[in-house]
């Protein structure tokens, strides 16, 4: 990222309007694929930045997205461009949750400049900016839906609600001060009327008494602990012993320097100077009088403080991967465009639904309505990020060495293939550029001189699937240098074993065929080999989220789950050649069906959920022979129906599997092209249209109108 000058906040509204627009334009150039988000952030920040005088409550902007999408970077850069860098305070809620007794409130209290009424000192644009990052870690509801307390973060919720920071002053200094008061109280209880002169105990006997009571405060006198003034100090000479004791028992300041500094720092203000504080404490004539003054000071020092931050700007930044991973079905190797299309369906309501698993309802309400869903990136965005980063490196390299670099498109393809995990955002991209591309600069420096141009390309691989390495050719004039690059994702995504690719392809094609036949929907993606070693077929239907399930929905889900391993049976009759590893499909099918059978009233005449159930899933005293028989019969009938559909579309499965074996993945739209060519099979566009109507949400409404007529 190109460095820009440090900005200050403009004074006039006109200048601030221009500055905000300039900042948005700059962000759109520097951050790829975020134009819409940048506009939304700019719109949300406008009232606070342009017309601060109308703000009476904190302005809250919450950004929720997936890991590694650049939320924090955008906010930091925006603060720089608007001249707010010196006003912004950043908190990592993951770290703050584990910071011992140091609360966010006490940190803010130390960092802010507050007036005597505990208001923030106004700035030229307004007050301070609080950025709470990794806010998912501030959760108050755990994975078991139990409430949890995060003491260090309690004050954050009050800040979000009304802009008030309450600081309990619970820190090391106050603990040290309170420890001194406690010890001094014990001493005064035994010696209440010891005379004091200007805060000092003068009489040697009184000094000896207080050193015996709270001597650990006075190590600087050479007292190793609680003293006994009449024991020898390992000195051979009597006069040396007496001389040492005379030094130990000289007049003593009751309040040591450290405690006095704490008192002055906590009490000083426009109404009370350090000189006034010391004068008042030194006015005490006895130990009991001094204790009274210290106890009164303690009330102020440890009392909770309220700082009015109602004109502040607050950013809430959090990762909600579960809201974007489509119930765990999204594989990390999914194509970036397919992943973008799927996550673009995630709404603010989906975000709030995910938040309800982490926070209480009244806490979610404090985020306000400015909840912005942070997007994932398309393939073109990732490619642009890679090109921008490589261009920056080349430019910096040329300035320092005088050597220019020309990049073949094959280099960008390699960086994309090795660096892009769509579900992990852009961080792996920068890491990959650093580990693959940057080391090449050393080879260029060794083999080229200022004024030369180095050309980089990837050597064309031989046909086949073994992709453990790639060779990069560095050409300078007629000279060529070869560098082998060890691949990570390439080897995982495209293993040497063709058997794995083609058998997985049949399995995943089976899932796809059954899904489209029964629901009329297309899979989001079909992948025959991923870095998880297995394939996957994303059959998630986001329209079904939140809807009640029917018997038909259960049957469809079970048959779709069966579709993979039954497709292997149809295509490969020899059972020895079929894959193991369909456990997830079998588990999913059984979970859907067993919960319907035992809990949701799938079988007549009633649901067993009306009874107290035990670990086996059956109510006590219920004879399950008949229901087991019914389950077996129903499960077998669904298996027969699934097999029949697959047999009728065997040619389609084979065609799709061959393509998947070659390319590794297929989108839903590509799968539709194969369906259109499926002249012999029963899965056609017409069948999909019919299935859509059968599964339509409007069925009940239309049926009721029909009966009414």
Annotate 123-154 with b (16+ C-beta within 10 A) or e (fewer): bebbbbbbbbbbbbbbbbbeeeeeeeebebbe
Q: Which residue, 67, 583, 565, 526, is CA-closest to 331? A: 526
Pair 609, 700 in one domain: yes
- What band does 333 get if pLDDT is binned at 50, 70 and 90? low
Percent of the chain with pLDDT over 70: 77
SS (H, E, C) 276-336: HHHHHHHCCCEHHHHHHHHHHHHHHHHCCEEEECCCCEEEEEEECHHHHCCCCCCCCCCCH
Domain boundary among 320, 353, 373: 373
Dihedral class, residue 479 (left if φ above 0, else alpha if ψ from -120 to 50, else beta): beta
Q: What is the pLDDT of residue 87?
A: 85
State the pairing for strand pair 200-201/59-65: unpaired
Are both 206 and 268 inside the same structural domain?
A: yes
The CATH number of the domain holding residue 637 is 1.20.58.760
Name the residue among 65, 58, 61, 95 with its Cα closest to residue 75. Answer: 61
- Which of 442, 469, 493 delimits the end of a domain? 493
Q: Is there a domain that residue 4 lies in?
A: no
Residues 6+ apart with CB under 8 A from 349: none
Supply the pLDDT for residue 329: 47
Q: Give the pair of three-digit tokens for residue 637.
A: 């009938």
d(CA 418, CA 487): 7
Angle between helix 336-343 and 379-401 (nearest 10):
130
Of 21-30, 132-141, 570-579, least confident by mean pLDDT is: 570-579
Are residue 569 and residue 529 in the same domain, yes or no? yes
- Decide if pLDDT at 532 tops 70: no
Checking if the pLDDT of 68 tops 70, the result is yes
Q: Which among 196-200, 303-307, 415-419, 692-696 has the top mean pLDDT?
A: 196-200
pLDDT at 168 exceeding the cut of 80: no
Confidence class of residue 286 from pLDDT cuts 50, 70 and 90? very high
Q: Are residues 107 and 206 in the same domain?
A: no
- Among candidate residues 175, 177, 176, 184, the one with its CA nearest the CA of residue 289: 184
Q: 485: pLDDT confidence band, cut at 50, 70 and 90? A: confident
pLDDT reported for residue 24: 95
Beta bridge partners of 317: 63
Q: Write b or e for each residue in 89-103: b if 16 or more Cβ atoms lie within 10 A of its Cβ, otherwise e.
A: eebbbeebbeeeeeb
Domain identity same for 34 and 163: yes
pLDDT average, residue stretch 57-69: 86
Ramachandran angles phi, psi of 261, nearest 5°: -65, -40
Dihedral-angle region of residue 83 (phi above 0 means left; psi in -120 to 50 means alpha; beta otherwise)? left
Confidence of residue 534 (pLDDT cuts 50, 70, 90): low
Q: 504 and 488, same structural domain?
A: no
Rounded (5°) CA angle 326-328-330:
65
Residue 460 has pLDDT above 50, yes or no: yes
pLDDT tops 90 at residue 20: yes
Strands 404-407 and 453-458: parallel
* Domain-embedded: residue 2: no
Q: Is the pLDDT of residue 76 over 90?
A: yes
d(CA 244, CA 237): 11
Report pLDDT for 339: 77
Quick: pLDDT tens for 390-417: 999 999 999 999 999 999 999 998 898 8
- Residue 25: which CATH number? 3.40.50.300
Cα separation, 672 vs 564, in Å, equals: 18
Q: What pLDDT, on a 0 to 100 scale, did the predictor assign at position 422?
A: 82
Residue 578 token pair: 């079929």
Give the DSSP letter string of 9-65: --SSHHHHHHHHHHHHHHHHHHSTT-HHHHHHHHHHHHHHHH-GGG--S-EEEEEEE
Domain CATH number, residue 461: 1.10.8.60
pLDDT band at 169 (very low <50, low <70, confident <90, very high): low
Find which of 169-183, 278-292, 684-698 is predicted with most confidence, using mean pLDDT: 278-292
**508 and 597 both lie in a single domain:** yes
pLDDT-based confidence at residue 102 (cuts at 50, 70, 90)? low
Kindly tell me the sign of the dihedral angle through the C-alpha atoms of 31, 34, 35, 41: negative
**Residue 395: which domain range?**
379-493
- Average pLDDT score over residue span 611-633: 59
Average pLDDT over residues 157-182: 77
pLDDT > 90 fraction of the chain, expressed in percent and rounded:
27
Q: Taking every pair of C-alpha atoms in the chain, what is the biggest distance, in angstroms?
A: 121
- Are the beta carbons of 42 and 20 closer than 8 angstroms? yes
In a domain, residue 554? The reply is: yes
At 673-689, the pLDDT tens digits run: 999 999 889 999 999 99
> In this structure, what token pair is assigned to residue 660?
């998947």
pLDDT at 292: 93
Identify whether 153 is part of a domain.
yes
Q: What is the 8-class DSSP label of residue 269?
A: B
Compute, in degrees rounded to 10, the torsion defined by CA atoms 338, 340, 344, 346.
80
Crossing angle for the helix pair 13-30 and 71-81, nearest 10 degrees?
140
Decide if 678 is inside a domain: yes
Please, are residues 199 and 294 in contact by the beta-carbon 8 Å criterion?
no
pLDDT-derived band at 466 (thresholds 50, 70, 90) equals very low
In whole angstroms, what is the distance from residue 125 CA to residue 86 CA?
A: 12
Q: Tokens 């704490």 identify what position?
A: 262
Query: Whole-angstrom Cα distance, residue 533 to residue 529?
Result: 6
Q: How many CB atoms lie within 10 A of CB 675?
A: 21
As a whole number of angstroms, the distance between CA 169 and CA 659 comes to 67
Asked whether 48 and 126 are in contact (CB, 8 A), the reply is yes
Q: pTM for this structure?
A: 0.61
Per-residue pLDDT, 674: 93
Averaged pLDDT, 541-545: 50
- The C-alpha angle with vertex 69 and arms to 63 and 74, in degrees rounded to 5, equals 65
Contacts of 550 (CB under 8 A, 6+ apart): none
Residue at 503 is within a domain: yes
Per the DSSP assignment, residues forming a β-bridge with 90 are: 131
Same domain membership, residue 261 and residue 148? no
Give the closest residue to 64 by CA, choosing from 405, 395, 353: 353
For the chain, what is the domain count? 4
Residues 178 and 289 in one domain: yes
Q: What is the DSSP letter of 272?
A: B
Helix/strand/coil (H/E/C) assignment for every residue in 135-174: HHHHCCECCCCCECCCHHHHHHHHHHHHCEEEECCCCHHH
Residue 592 has pLDDT above 80, yes or no: no
Over residues 196-213, the mean pLDDT reads: 87
**Strands 59-65 and 313-319, bridge-based pairing:** parallel
For residues 447 and 556, membership in a common domain is answered with no
Average pLDDT over the chain, rounded to whole? 79
Instruction: Choose the most confident range, by mean pLDDT, from 97-106, 172-181, 493-502.
Output: 172-181
Are 452 and 525 in a shared domain? Answer: no
Q: Lowest-confidence range among 207-221, 411-425, 626-640?
A: 207-221
Strand segments, DSSP code E, in 169-279 are 200-201, 252-253
DSSP string, 525-554: EEES--TTSS-EE----GGGTTPPP-HHHH
Query: Does residue 5 form part of some domain?
Result: no
Whether residues 118 and 211 fall in one domain: no
CA distance 132 to 376: 21
Alpha-carbon gap, residue 279 to 565, rounded angstroms: 88
Residue 136 lies in a domain: yes
pLDDT tens across 306-315, in order?
A: 778 888 899 9
CA–CA separation, 677 vs 675, rounded Å? 5
Last residue of a domain, one of 466, 493, 520: 493
In the block, tokens 């399995």 appear at: 507
Residue among 87, 122, 124, 121 at smallest CA distance from 12: 124
């Amino acid at each position: 990222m190109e460095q820009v000058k440090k900005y200050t906040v403009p004074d006039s509204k006109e200048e601030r309007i221009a500055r905000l627009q300039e900042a948005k334009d700059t962000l759109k150039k520097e951050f790829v694929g975020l134009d819409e988000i940048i506009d939304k952030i700019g719109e949300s920040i406008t009232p606070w930045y342009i017309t601060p005088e109308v703000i009476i409550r904190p302005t809250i902007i919450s950004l929720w997205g997936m890991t590694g999408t650049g939320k924090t970077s955008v906010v930091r850069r925006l603060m720089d461009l608007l001249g707010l860098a010196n006003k912004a305070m950043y908190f990592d809620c993951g770290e703050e949750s584990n910071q011992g007794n140091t609360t966010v409130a006490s940190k803010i209290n130390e960092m802010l400049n507050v007036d005597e009424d505990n208001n923030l000192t106004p700035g030229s644009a307004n007050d301070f900016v609080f950025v709470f990052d990794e806010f998912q870690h501030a959760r108050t509801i755990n994975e078991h839906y139990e409430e949890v307390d995060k003491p260090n973060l309690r004050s954050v919720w009050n800040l979000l609600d009304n802009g008030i920071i309450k600081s309990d002053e619970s820190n090391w200094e106050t603990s040290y001060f309170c420890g001194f008061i406690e010890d001094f109280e014990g001493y005064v209880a035994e010696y209440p009327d010891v005379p004091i002169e200007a805060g000092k105990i003068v009489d040697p006997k009184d000094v000896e008494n207080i050193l015996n009571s709270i001597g650990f405060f006075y190590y600087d006198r050479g007292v190793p602990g609680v003293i006994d003034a009449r024991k020898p100090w390992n000195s051979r000479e009597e006069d040396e012993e007496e001389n040492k004791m005379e030094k130990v028992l000289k007049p003593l300041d009751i309040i040591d320097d450290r405690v006095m500094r704490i008192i002055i720092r906590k009490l000083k203000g426009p109404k009370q100077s350090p000189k006034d504080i010391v004068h008042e404490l030194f006015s005490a004539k006895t130990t009991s009088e001094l204790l009274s003054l210290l106890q009164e000071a303690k009330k102020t020092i440890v009392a909770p403080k309220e700082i009015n931050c109602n004109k502040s700007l607050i950013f809430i930044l959090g990762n909600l991967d579960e809201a974007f991973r489509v119930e765990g079905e999204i594989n990390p190797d999914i194509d970036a465009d397919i992943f973008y299309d799927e996550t673009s369906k995630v709404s603010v309501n989906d975000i709030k639904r995910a938040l309800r698993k982490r926070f209480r309802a009244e806490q979610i309400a404090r985020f306000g309505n400015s909840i912005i869903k942070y997007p994932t990136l398309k393939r073109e965005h990732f490619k642009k990020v890679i090109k921008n980063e490589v261009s920056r490196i080349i430019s910096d390299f040329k300035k320092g060495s005088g050597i220019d670099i020309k990049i073949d498109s094959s280099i960008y393809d390699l960086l994309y293939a090795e660096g892009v995990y769509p579900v992990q955002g852009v961080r792996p991209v920068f890491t990959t550029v650093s580990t693959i591309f940057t080391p090449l600069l050393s080879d260029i420096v060794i083999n080229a001189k200022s004024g030369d141009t180095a050309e980089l390309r990837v050597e064309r691989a031989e046909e086949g699937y073994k992709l453990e390495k790639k060779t990069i050719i560095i050409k300078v004039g007629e000279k060529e240098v070869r560098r082998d690059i060890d691949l990570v994702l390439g080897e995982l995504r495209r293993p040497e074993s063709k058997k794995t690719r083609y058998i997985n392809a049949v399995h995943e094609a089976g899932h796809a065929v059954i899904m489209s036949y029964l629901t009329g929907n297309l899979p989001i993606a079909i992948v025959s080999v991923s870095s998880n070693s297995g394939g996957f077929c994303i059959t998630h239907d986001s329209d079904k989220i939140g809807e009640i399930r029917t018997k038909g929905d259960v049957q469809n889900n079970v048959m779709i789950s069966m579709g993979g391993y039954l497709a292997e049976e149809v295509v490969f009759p020899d059972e020895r050649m079929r894959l193991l590893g369909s456990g997830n499909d079998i588990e999913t099918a059984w979970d859907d069906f067993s919960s319907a059978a035992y809990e949701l009233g799938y079988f007549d005449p009633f649901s067993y959920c009306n009874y107290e159930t035990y670990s086996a899933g059956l109510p006590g005293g219920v004879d399950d022979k008949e229901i087991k028989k019914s389950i077996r019969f129903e499960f077998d009938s669904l298996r027969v129906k699934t097999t029949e559909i697959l047999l009728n579309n065997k040619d389609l499965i084979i065609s799709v599997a061959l393509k998947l074996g070659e390319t590794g993945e297929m989108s839903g739209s590509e799968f539709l092209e194969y369906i259109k060519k499926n002249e012999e099979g029963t899965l056609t566009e017409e069948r999909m249209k019919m299935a859509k109507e059968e599964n339509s949400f409007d069925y009940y409404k239309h049926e009721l109108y029909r009966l009414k007529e």
